Chains A and B, each alone.
Chain A
């Protein structure tokens, strides 16, 4: 986390506008989220899927298809979606777009955001392509907000340069808890995630766990800004307003 950001967040945390702390299931008005992850693991896409499901838990009846756009570099780096491994309630609704260039991928993302029959859109882009500058990012944000379709943009092996996403996460895989019946086996997926840019939430570090039905989060005490028990005890209610 940049030092300036950490310093800046503490005074503004008390001002009310930004005092809420993110937790799973909280209603976020954010439509454009970026997840930065390494290309050699499936963390980025998995976290984006988990966050998307977390955001959509309110209307579980929604049976609209969803779009997954990958450019060629992302495809080569981290592979294609695999239907038997996708979450059960999502696998039959996937529409996959394999774009050749980042420009084509951005076009597909924007078309997907403008479609009213899609539940959400996941994009996967590798590196920092020239086409994905601040203007392109802003276009995506505006399209997402205008049409109300959520966009989860996974950036593989990318620098966090200028972007207009309302929330930006940085994620990596973490050691999973041992399963009950076979402690030698890998368990439920766990990620270390850092929310390093958010408009309405405080930045922070979490250990996120997908337990099959919902997203569970633990605040990593060691890395979080020190607010003692106050924030957690108040149930993520704004301290100033409360």
Chain B
């Protein structure tokens, strides 16, 4: 079943205003506007404005010229999407799965569920009634495929008694007279089809498959390829949908009788909340990876502090300790009256028995707790571990990842010849004195000191990765050198004199050997 809330944004506005359709403030011309790069543009218009000739997607200035009395309110697409998500969960009353069809539609899988409502027609009638009761102007249709249901809901003739229910046979005969816009295609494809003179689905189906496939062979996305959409409409190819699943997040809160302004009291509240959260999580057999502490101030402002843990935990003392570092800069103003702790990201953690003896002996913290403390004080990117990466360019052969991230699935590390223990963050230029212009330098100057090269190995030529970099990147000739006092370095010459990619090659020092 496909549901199309034809007037979702305005219906939400009416619900917020508390007025019925065409009554109260809805009686005057009104439009919802969205800010665009070229100025305000109308996102939705009500019936009174439409009578004056105002249409959606007009610029506000043009609409004002047509209808000077036009009232405007800001549109809220994020709120509309959130509302649609709630609506999708609510729509699971008619079937086990529902999926979003943004910006204003829903798909509900009612396979095998219609008889519970007394047949498909009765199910549709129920859906219409329930949606009308919620104050939504909606069109719904039931068909064997999601594409066909969508087409009927958006473009079908709903005034016929059985207009919205499509039985399995003769789909093309019923859907043929619908316009090609019923195929869920992009605007530019619709324009192209109109220019080609293909107005109805039956026009499109009348053309041979080969011709359509050849004409749209470069279009991979289903929304840009009429043939794929036609097949989806008729059920010849599968069309997976992403269902909406409700995830309940653990939440604990404390309403305070008196607004608190002092840190000691807030710490007390936080301890209580952490213990409540530990109980809530324990009941679900889960631990929190991310926690959000929201504090409502008396003046209505909300202070939010987020915390992310390296491993799932529900230890109240650990949580309190981590939050303590984050609460220092809290500006409570006239006081806090409500504190709420939620866990948006949880992972299963089995209950473990407290080890009475060993717990007292083995002091110290666990690795995850240690990493959490470091991350909270030093910041997100400070604690990391190096992971190998499939690249032969030295600085790209390792990447940095969060410390408890699993190792990526490489068959094996690249076997490099001899690599330095440490790599400078960016190679430092060195001034060199050559013996021969093409060969290894005899002396180089780095950070103000002069190094005389005593022994060297090389060159190891490392070419740029042409599939990743521009064609003007120069190759590098690496030398492993030891100077006269025994210090070992990794230096390279950037480019060749004759490669035609810039002037004379420069020398850099990149690594320090053990």
Residues of A within 8 A of B (CB): 40-43, 45-46, 49-50, 65, 75-76, 78-86, 91-92, 94-100, 104, 107-108, 111-112, 114-118, 146-147, 149, 172-176, 178, 182, 184-186, 189-190, 192, 210
A50: min CB distance to chain B, Å = 8
The residues of A that contact B382 with a CB separation of less than 8 Å are: 97-100
Complex-state Cα separation, A83 to B424, whole angstroms: 13
Q: Check A117 against B370 for contact (C-beta < 8 Å).
A: yes
What per-residue 1/0 map shows which CB atoms of B165-201 lie under 8 Å from chain A?
0000000000000000000000000000000000000
Given contacts A42-B512, A50-B514, A116-B362, 6 further A-B contacts (CB under 8 A): A40-B447, A82-B422, A115-B369, A147-B363, A173-B486, A184-B456
Let me know if B5 is at the binding interface, CB within 8 A: no
Given contacts A65-B367, A175-B454, contact A186 B386 (CB under 8 A): no
| A116 with B364: CB separation less than 8 A | yes
Contacts of A174 in B (CB 8 A): 485-486
Which of B78-86, B100-108, B373-381 touches A?
B373-381
15 contacts between A and B (CB under 8 A): A42-B421, A49-B514, A76-B425, A82-B421, A83-B398, A84-B398, A84-B419, A85-B420, A85-B422, A86-B421, A112-B374, A173-B488, A178-B455, A185-B456, A185-B480
How long is the Cα–Cα vector from A99 to B383 in the complex, in angstroms?
A: 9
- Chain B interface residue count, CB cutoff 8 Å, equals 57
Question: Would B367 and A117 count as touching, CB distance under 8 A?
Answer: yes
B226 an interface residue at 8 Å Cβ cutoff?
A: no
A46 to B513, CA, bound (A): 8
Closest to B514 in A: A46
**Chain B residue at smallest Cβ distance from A88:** B413
Chain B stretch 379-411: residues in CB contact (< 8 A) with chain A: 381-388, 394, 397-398, 400, 403, 407
- Taking a contact as CB atoms under 8 Å apart, the answer to whether B455 and A185 are in contact is yes
Scoring A42, A98, A178 by chain B CB atoms within 10 A of each residue's CB, the highest score goes to: A42
Complex alpha-carbon distance, A149 and B363, angstroms = 12
Rounded to whole angstroms, the CA-CA distance of A112 and B364 in the bound complex is: 10
Top 9 nearest A-B pairs (CB, nearest first) are: A46-B514, A116-B364, A185-B457, A117-B367, A42-B512, A115-B370, A85-B419, A186-B482, A79-B422
Q: How far is the CA of A75 from the CA of B426 in the complex (A)?
A: 11
Q: Are B403 and A190 in contact (CB under 8 A)?
A: no
Q: Is B416's beta carbon under 8 Å from chain A?
A: yes
Per a CB cutoff under 8 Å, which of B364, B449, B486 touches A190?
Answer: B486
Interface residues of B in 96-155 (CB under 8 A from A): none
How far is A172 from B418 in the complex, measured between Cα atoms in Å? 21
**Are B482 and A175 in contact, CB atoms less than 8 angstroms apart?**
yes
Q: Which residues of B contact A (CB under 8 A)?
A: 362-367, 369-371, 373-374, 377-378, 381-388, 394, 397-398, 400, 403, 407, 413-414, 416, 418-425, 446-447, 449, 454-457, 480-482, 484-488, 511-514
> Is the CB–CB distance between A189 and B513 below 8 Å?
yes
Of B362, B364, B394, the most chain A CB neighbours within 10 A belong to B364
Quick check: A111 and B370 within 8 Å, CB to CB? yes
B367 near A210 with CB under 8 A, answer: no
Bound together, the chains give a CA A108 to CA B378 distance in angstroms of: 9
Question: Which A residues touch B457, using CB under 8 A?
Answer: 182, 184-186
Inter-chain contact A107/B377, CB cutoff 8 Å: yes
Given A45-B421, A75-B425, also A82-B511 (CB < 8 A): yes
Question: In the complex, what distance in Å separates the CA atom of A80 from the CA atom of B384?
Answer: 12
* A96-B398 contact in complex given A84-B414, A85-B420, C-beta closer than 8 Å: no
| A189 CB contacts on chain B under 8 angstroms | 488, 513-514
The answer to whether B378 and A99 touch across the interface, beta carbons within 8 angstroms, is yes
B480 and A186 form a contact (CB under 8 A): yes
Q: Which residues of chain B have C-beta atoms less than 8 A from A178's C-beta?
A: 455
A141 CB to nearest chain B CB (Å): 16
